């Protein structure tokens, strides 16, 4: 069965995942009863307890481009989002399929480029893209894996309509919040947990470590040594870096803590240098090696890329994986699935207009008030326009941007994102949500059950990004 690309859903009413009060969906029935039993004052108290818990643990998220507060918390909503086993089985199959195709695409564009030769993707879209790294040409990473940790952003439009908004194949973040959200809910509401059979997410760090070890270089002797490479404590996601390193029981290092000798990577320790076999890097391509990429980078390690190309260390995710999550490439993922796997896509794609295309640009300019426009290389909800919520002046200013640099933007219909019950200042109310599941790729593909649900806390808002005022929820997958 062929699943269509989603064309336009702007006028549709959002799908409420709990259902109507008199017709509550099965997976939410115990949650509905629990909400009815809980006085608003107690819910408010529990929310304050969660804030104190997160602050004590140190779960903060700073947005430094705004002069960020390093003690800023991501708001946590105490009403969980619930998926049943059948829903998750569909999502999980679709994620595995999609990530397989993305890895095949990455291997292809750095080798034979068969998909370009077949005319399915314009060559200039890949070869002139900032995410494409010609230095990776003809290089085969361990196990043939380029993106080892993928975060695939999904929205829901109906009971079985899960749609991919973005693919994050470089350095996806947010998994620490998924894990800490679960821990907080278990502490705050143990009785509610006892009423449900909920798939565990606590094994994610163990799965991540096993995935990273499984892609160690062939010349690795003994158990692979893994390290996490961070830009440092001033990075907005540093909490996550240190959290994951601690949970995996590995060293967290900065560029100066590593050195390369004879194309072998070593870590400086109090016991002397120790060879590193796998580096889970949370540094962008440009900054990872000043000898190959940006010479002014103080974050990376000189010679690291040559060690990688020599097959003496594995970088996860691989250099150049960003070409697979470019928003202009996104529209071609269904074609990748058909081309590389010979299968029909399980998960939907949103109809996407490439403003670099003359006909698409003309359509976007004519329908700007109906569309969401995003920068092809943007993230975090920045540099985007939500047409239905924009003023006349904002629309005119954005139209000028599109005419000046059309290739930097894509546009999509305004989707009716599903809603979930959320505890806000006025009480319990529906709010729009998305979902970022995490997929691990090594010798095998693993999908953590659930993921990070992000919620737009402002009434009517469709922007769920934490940098734009969104919050998070615990995501429950019920076991069958």
pLDDT of residue 269: 95
Report pLDDT digits (tens) over 74-121.
889 999 999 999 999 999 999 999 999 999 999 999 999 999 999 999
- What's the predicted TM-score (pTM) here? 0.92
Q: How far is CA 352 from CA 98, 322, 438, in A?
A: 17, 19, 24
Query: SS3 string of the chain?
Result: CCCCCECCCCCCCCCECCEECCEECHHHHHHHHHHHHCCHHHHHHHHHHHHHHHHHHCCCCCCHHHCCCCCCCCCEEEEEEEECHHHHHHHHHHHHHHHHHHHHHHHHHCCCCHHHHCCCCCHHHHHCCCCCCHHHCCCCCHHHCCCCEEEEEEEEEECCEEEEEEEECCCCCCHHHHHHHHHHHHHHCHHHHHCCCECCCCCHHHHHHHHHHHCCCCCCCCCCCEEEECCCCCCCCHHHHHHHHHHHCCEEECHHHEEEECCEEEECCCCCCEECCEEEECCCHHHCCCCCCCCCCCCCCCCHHHHHHCCCCEEECCCCHHHHHCHHHHCCHHHHHHHHHCCCCCCEEECCEECCCHHHHHHHHHCHHHEEEEECCCCCCCCCEEHHHCCHHHHHHHHHHHHHCHHHEEEEECCCCCEEEEEECCEEEEEEEEEECEEEECCCEEECCCCEEEECCCCCCCCCCHHHCCEEEEEEEECC
Mean pLDDT score of the chain: 91
Give the Cα separation of 341 and 455 in Å (integer).
34
Q: Give the phi and the psi of residue 271 in degrees, each rounded to 5.
A: -100, 10
Q: Per-residue pLDDT for 61 more than 80? A: no
Q: Are 471 and 76 in contact (CB under 8 A)?
A: yes
Q: Give the phi and the psi of residue 227 in degrees, each rounded to 5.
A: -135, 155
Report pLDDT digits (tens) over 112-150.
999 999 999 999 999 999 999 999 999 999 999 999 999
At 95, is the secondary structure helix, strand, or coil? helix
Report pLDDT digits (tens) over 202-260.
999 999 999 999 999 999 989 999 999 999 988 888 999 999 999 999 999 999 999 99
Beta bridge partners of 261: 264
At 352, is the secondary structure helix, strand, or coil? coil
Q: Regarding predicted confidence, which is higher, 5 or 277?
A: 277
Q: Per-residue pLDDT for 464 more than 90? A: no
Q: Residue 328: which of 296, 303, 304, 361 has the closest Cα?
A: 361
Break the chain into its structural domains and give their ranges: 218-312
Top-confidence range, 58-67, 377-386, 388-397: 388-397
Q: Counting Cβ atoms within 10 Å, is residue 421 exposed (0-12), middle (13-18) or buried (19+)?
A: buried
- Separation of first and last alpha carbons in the chain: 25
Once rounded to an integer, what is the mean pLDDT over residues 333-348? 97
- List b or e across 145-157, with b for residues whose CB sees 16 or more CB atoms inside 10 angstroms: bbbbbbbbbbbbb
Residue listed under structure tokens 């109809």: 351
Beta bridge partners of 341: none
Report pLDDT digits (tens) over 406-446.
988 999 998 889 999 999 988 999 999 999 999 999 999 99
Report pLDDT digits (tens) over 13-25.
899 999 988 899 9
Q: Are 238 and 283 in contact (CB under 8 A)?
A: no
- The reply to whether CATH 3.40.50.300 applies to domain 218-312 is no
Of 59-63, 86-90, 292-296, 335-339, least confident by mean pLDDT is: 59-63
């Amino acid at each position: 069965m062929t699943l269509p690309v989603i064309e336009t859903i702007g006028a549709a009413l959002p799908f409420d995942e709990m259902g109507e009060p008199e017709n509550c969906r099965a997976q939410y029935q115990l949650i509905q009863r629990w909400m009815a039993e809980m006085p608003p004052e107690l819910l408010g108290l529990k929310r304050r307890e969660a804030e104190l818990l997160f602050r004590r643990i140190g779960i903060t998220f700073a947005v430094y481009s705004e002069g960020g507060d390093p003690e800023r918390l991501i708001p946590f909503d105490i009403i969980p989002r619930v998926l049943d086993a059948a829903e998750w089985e569909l999502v999980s199959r679709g994620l595995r399929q999609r990530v397989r195709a993305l890895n095949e695409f990455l291997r292809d564009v750095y080798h034979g480029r068969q998909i370009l030769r077949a005319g399915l993707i314009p060559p200039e879209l890949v070869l002139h893209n900032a995410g494409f790294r010609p230095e990776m040409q003809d290089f085969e990473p361990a196990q043939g894996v380029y993106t080892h940790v993928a975060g695939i952003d999904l929205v829901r439009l109906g009971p079985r309509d899960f749609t991919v908004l973005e693919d994050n194949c470089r350095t996806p973040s947010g998994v620490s919040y998924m894990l800490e959200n679960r821990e907080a809910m278990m502490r705050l509401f143990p009785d509610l947990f006892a009423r449900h059979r909920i798939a565990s997410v606590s094994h994610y760090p163990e799965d991540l470590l096993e995935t990273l070890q499984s892609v160690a270089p062939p010349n690795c002797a003994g158990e692979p040594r893994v390290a996490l490479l961070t830009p440092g404590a001033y990075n907005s996601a540093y909490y996550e870096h240190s959290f994951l390193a601690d949970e995996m029981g590995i060293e967290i290092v900065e560029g100066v803590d590593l050195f390369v000798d004879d194309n072998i990577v070593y870590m400086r320790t109090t016991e002397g240098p120790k060879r590193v076999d796998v580096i889970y890097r949370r540094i962008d391509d440009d900054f990872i090696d000043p000898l190959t990429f940006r010479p002014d980078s103080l974050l990376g390690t000189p010679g690291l890329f040559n060690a990688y190309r020599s097959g003496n260390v594995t970088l996860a995710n691989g250099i150049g994986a960003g070409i697979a999550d470019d928003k202009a490439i996104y529209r071609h993922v269904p074609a990748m699935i058909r081309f590389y796997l010979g299968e029909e896509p399980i998960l939907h794609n949103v109809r996407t207009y490439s403003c670099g295309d003359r006909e698409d640009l003309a359509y976007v300019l004519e329908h700007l008030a109906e569309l969401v426009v995003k920068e092809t290389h943007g993230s975090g909800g920045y540099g985007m326009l939500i047409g239905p919520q924009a003023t006349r002046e904002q629309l005119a200013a954005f139209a000028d941007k599109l005419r000046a640099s059309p290739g930097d933007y894509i546009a999509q219909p305004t989707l009716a994102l599903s809603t979930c019950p959320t505890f806000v200042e006025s009480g319990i109310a529906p709010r729009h949500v998305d979902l970022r599941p995490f997929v691990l790729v090594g010798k095998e593909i693993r999908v953590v059950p659930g993921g990070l649900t992000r919620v737009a806390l402002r009434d009517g808002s469709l922007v769920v990004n934490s940098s734009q005022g969104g919050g998070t929820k615990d995501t429950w997958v019920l076991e069958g």
